Structure 1
């Protein structure tokens, strides 16, 4: 007898409204390129490419947003899918809610930075402050 078993996790795709966890790969003047690694709290076997546009970083004062003051390459970010990607383009993500933004960042000294406000993180070793769009992480997304 022969049977086919499907791996349901490999069929997991980001959908509009989904909360995703991603890693910032590069930043540009108008957007940040990210790699989607989790949907809600489920790890993906294959990552997806995403883009966070400058105007989708914050809900207010969108014209004053500077991408490099919100994210840095290597940051781990929680975002919400606002548009589906296709073969040529990426998923569009937003961090324009208090619960969304940078959740893990590392300083130049290699230490995990600590959030000190909604727009700054601080290195515990050097005490240098760096600008970020900091997420207020909700308890259901914290790993134990």
Structure 2
């Protein structure tokens, strides 16, 4: 069975319930995605030496990369974001006014080419907009779920994370350790316990 798109670091289920396949790894007793792709689970049932005894083994869980969007003739086609498209993007740089990102997934489909977008300080949150700081909302390398609010200019799409379901979905600490969300504004290092601020998306 194949599921919707998942991102690196996303928990897929307890390790005791699955046999890890390709595109996943085990972390803290959980099967975790190692890449952007779709979850595939394959049931497995085996019969013991005694014909009267049926032994069930856990299903294998894997993550596979979805194929790039194709046109009607089957050739690779450019997948362009549109207004209200939901995207996954990677933060490439930040300044006091905005975060610059590279969009690599549009509406659950992997792009053939990355597109550049920006999340402006006024588009980070719905509330307390005047108190938003880019440096405590995003860091370079963060994976962010966002929505396209404008096609912008020729070089940038304008994106927003002003919704509970939007924001950082995967991040590493300053020391390089994976982090997990502990509330809507903070993530915690899985190794050291250090807490860092982020604009966190609704937990999976």
Residue 180 of structure 2 is aligned with which of 114, 120, 124?
A: 114
1:80 alignment partner, one of 142, 147, 152: 147
User: How has the CA–CA distance of structure 1 residues 23 and 127 changed in structure 2, closer, same or farther, with 3 Å as cutoff?
Assistant: same
Q: Which has the higher helix share?
A: 1
| Matched residue count | 133
Q: CA deviation at 1:137?
A: 4.8
Unaligned runs of 5+ in 2: 1-71
Q: Which residue of 2 aligns with 1:131?
A: 197
- Residue by residue over 1:23-71, the C-alpha shift from the partner in whole angstroms, topping out at 9 and shown as x without a partner, is 0000000100000000021100101000000000000000000001000
- 1:61-96 per-residue CA deviation (whole Å, 9 max, x = no partner) reads 000000010000000000000001343x30000000
Q: What are the ranges of 5 or more consecutive residues in structure 1 without an aligned counterpart?
A: 139-144
The answer to whether the 8 Å contact 2:124/2:162 transfers is: yes
Partner of 2:91: 24
Matching residue of 1:103: 169
SS of alignment partner, residue 106 of structure 1:
coil
Q: Larger C-alpha radius of gyration, 1 or 2?
A: 2
TM-score by length of 1: 0.87
Contact 2:78 2:112 in 1 (8 A): no
- Residue pairs, 1:28-47, within 5 angstroms: 28-47=95-114
TM-score by length of 2: 0.62
**1:60 counterpart residue number:** 127
Q: Distance in 2 between matches of 1:39 and 1:78?
A: 10
By how many angstroms is 1:102 displaced? 0.1
| RMSD of aligned residue pairs (Cα, Å) | 1.5
Q: Answer 1 or 2: higher relative contact order, Cα 8 Å, separation at least 6.
A: 1
